Amino acid sequence: MLNPAAAARRAIPSLDRLLQLGAVADLAERYGRPLVTEAARAELAALRAALGRRPPEPHAGFDEAHFVQACAARLARETRSSLRPVFNLTGTVLHTNLGRALMPQEAAQAVARAMTRPVNLEFELDEGDRGERDRHVERWLTRLTGAKAALVVNNNAAAVYLALNTLALKKEVPVSRGELIEIGGAFRIPDIMSRAGVKLVEVGTTNRTHLRDYSGAISPRTAALMKVHTSNYAVQGFTAAVPEDKLAALAHRHRLPLITDLGSGMLVNLEDYGLPHEPTPREVLAAGADIVTFSGDKLLGGPQAGLIVGRPDLVERIRKNPMKRALRVDKMTLAALEAVLRLYADPARLKAALPTLRHLTRPAAEIEAQARRLLPAFESALRGKASAETISVKSQIGSGSLPVDLVTSWGIAVWGSGKRRSAAAGGISAAFRALPVPVIGRVKDGTFIMDLRCLEHEDEFVEQLTHLELK
């Protein structure tokens, strides 16, 4: 007589037989034959491996329905998009790891059109001949910054690289030691400069740099002066930096251009929206900068892009750099950017129309009311396994914008009981990440905190809380 494991193994039908089952054929209809064959093979292997580990009940046969269900679950899991929507309740409005700026519907529609239909990307409709792709956004960028010329590349790191590589190849560029920053994801000003073929000349000290430090560093080998906005940290206390206008005057006395890397670079005055000031490209250009670079997907609230605005002769030289071709943006980026820039033409509507600005300006009282309204839904989802409370928190802008300026916000704090509170917080955080639309918060002092500043789609959010499974 066979032992139960051998009997159970023998009861498993062949792959070919299983692929002929009606329910499996239905799966093949939906997912295609190759994926279904792979899934069935993997499920069979898993079944056999399980039999090796623990012997089955005597006379346990092959459960066909269970097998089909397991295949279906495997296929659903494996064909799900890797890039999925999440709820950003981290308290960081522009979260680089969560895709930075959210874009308005207008931008999404423009992108869909550009993706699915031929467009005049590099084609002049008036003359009927070849055009320049950046022209679609140049008129908006010049209007919004006061610059006479503009161009667009893949991101601000590329913009800095291309500007330096064009204007200072094999030459020297003095930069203040207080501005030799690292942005998350290994963007370091000294590294970008050396890769751009530019020799960095460090001037001043970490906390204080004076005009004489720059003038002492200028030599016949100098090609430009550069200023970098220390966007993700603040030098506080006994500090000194040289303002743009003084530095521009010095550069121009030596017939050198001033390049300013603004990092974020908002196109409107944030103070008009009750937020702390962030320098605008218009201000920096008016102070005398010749080239200004900034990101498309930070405060501007558009797609990932690097914007270069400034003096037309310099912008033209940058445009002609062969590396521009390697760093150029595609039609989807241009479509989204054009739609977002157009919104800036109507500042009165901007706050409602641009998600980044809408989230940053949400009144704390409104977020507090939302937290109170949602608390019962959290409490019932936790089923007594953890406690929840509304909590006042500080949101930050993120992506290196306004590092020290935190905005008051409200959220929900969840914590487990017992002595191992910090381990429990990790488990709570994981349970929220496992929801159908993962909820990303942060853990602080043994508490899982969700800042509701960026919570939209509230109904969907509340509905899926019922799926929460706390261990």
**Which has the closest alpha carbon to 401: 101, 152, 133?**
101
Q: Considering only CA atoms, which of 6, 112, 132, 133 is closest in space to residue 58?
A: 6
* Part of the chain binding ligand PLP (CB under 6 A), chosen from 106-114, 127-135, 228-236, 331-339: 228-236
For residue 447, the SS3 value is strand
Q: Between 179 and 338, name the residue whose CB sits nearer to ligand PLP.
A: 179
Phi, psi of 365 (to 5 degrees): -65, -35
Instruction: Say if residue 37 is exposed, middle or buried (CB neighbours under 10 Å; 0-12, 13-18, 19+).
Output: middle
Instruction: State which of residues 91, 178, 204, 263 lies at the interface with ligand PLP (CB under 6 A).
Output: 263
92 binds ligand PLP (CB under 6 A): no
Closest by Cα among 299, 396, 408 to 88: 396
Contacting range for ligand PLP; rule: CB under 6 A; set: 63-71, 104-112, 258-266, 446-454:
258-266
Q: Which of 93, 107, 153, 183 binds ligand PLP (CB under 6 A)?
A: 183
Q: Does 187 bind ligand PLP (CB under 6 A)?
A: yes
Residue 280 makes contact with ligand PLP by CB under 6 A = no
Contact 165, 196 (CB under 8 A): yes
Stretch that binds ligand PLP, among 2-10, 213-221, 223-231, 380-388 (CB under 6 A): 223-231
| Tokens 């089955």 sit on residue | 56
> CA-CA distance, 155 to 158, in Å (whole number)?
5
The DSSP code for 12 is S
CB of 15 to ligand PLP, least distance (A): 49
Work out the number of other CB atoms within 10 angstroms of the CB of residue 156. 27
Binding test (CB under 6 A) with ligand PLP, winner from 95, 133, 229, 359: 229
Name the segment binding ligand PLP (CB under 6 A); options: 134-142, 153-161, 169-177, 437-445. Answer: 153-161
Residue 306 binding ligand PLP, by CB under 6 A = yes
Q: Are 221 and 171 in contact (CB under 8 A)?
A: yes
Under the binding rule (CB under 6 A), the answer on residue 231 touching ligand PLP is yes
Residue 256 near ligand PLP by CB under 6 A? no
Contact 169, 198 (CB under 8 A): yes
**309 is an interface residue for ligand PLP by CB under 6 A:** no
Measuring CA to CA, which residue among 383, 390, 380, 438 is closest to residue 414?
A: 390
Report if residue 302 touches ligand PLP, rule: CB under 6 A. Answer: no
What's the min distance (Å) between Cβ of 73 and ligand PLP?
A: 39
Q: How far is the CB of 164 from ligand PLP (least distance, A)?
A: 12
Closer to ligand PLP by CB, 160 or 248: give it.
Answer: 160
Count of residues interacting with ligand PLP (CB under 6 A): 15
Q: In 117-210, where does DSSP find H-type helix?
A: 135-145, 156-168, 189-195
Q: Closest approach of Cβ 96 to ligand PLP, in Å?
A: 7
Which C-beta is closer to ligand PLP: that of 155 or that of 395?
Answer: 155
Which CB sits closer to ligand PLP, 40 or 157? Answer: 157
Can you say whether the dihedral through the CA atoms of 144, 145, 149, 151 is positive or negative? negative
What is the three-class DSSP state of 275?
coil
CB-based contacts of 62: which residues, under 8 Å, 6+ apart?
A: 8, 11, 12, 13
Question: CB 12 → ligand PLP: shortest distance, Å?
Answer: 53
By CB under 6 A, tell whether 157 contacts ligand PLP. Answer: yes
Q: In the complex, which residues of this chain contact ligand PLP (CB under 6 A)? A: 155-157, 160, 183, 187, 228-229, 231, 261, 263-264, 295, 306, 400
